[in-house]
Amino acid sequence: MNSLVEGEGRETERAPLRGDDVERSGLARAVFLDRDGTLSEDVGYARDVMAYRLFPWTIPALRALRRAGYRVIVITNQSGVARGYFTEELVRQVHHRFESELRRYGAQWDAIYYCPHHPEGAVMAYRQVCACRKPATGLVERAQREFALDLRRCVFVGDKYSDIQLAHRVGARGVLVLTGHGREQWARSRREGWSPPDHVAENLWEAVRWILRHGNEAERGATP
């Protein structure tokens, strides 16, 4: 992968896509992925880089999305920084480790954006109400500018309802995966009558299969 560019919780590269990533509108499509519980096991606020592990289906899922012409963009809340459990340096080390593993097996993401803030954080520098903590739209808007995205053609995948809320706020489709916190969130959503996701999948691989089947459906709600 190319060298990382840091800035306000952003790490990115721009590699060429295989497939039709830009249509006549001139805008690209992307799949926005949550990290913990979606791409990787949710290990809580672990301080050991080696505790973080990708799910076995993550690599084939990312390869399939890239082959189909999607940008792959990771957006993750990392409030452990604000809470004082670990530093931004550990977050970056985890991302470097994941990137190395992806590269080894011929997979990659285009960018990863993270929010280190929390309104009740113990570290004052990160204690704030920000525009980047999901389901706020700040990081998505930044990705939209930097990758020239048509958000109506994008899909968000995550194990929490903040991912689904974020998708619907920007006019995209949202897929809830049942890994991580997903099963608990799905059960709670039905009890409390939350707005449903566009699809519920067992894991990221099943979510990607659904996305690829419905890839030509441009707008949220266009598929059952």
Residues with a catalytic annotation lie at 34, 36
CB 155 within 8 A of CB 211: yes
Q: Report the C-alpha gap between 88 and 82 in whole angstroms.
A: 9
Pairing of strands 155-158, 173-177: parallel
Instruction: Compute the half-sphere exposure of residue 139: CA atoms within 13 Å on the CB side of its CA.
Output: 31
Asked if 197 contacts 176 with a C-beta cutoff of 8 angstroms, the reply is yes
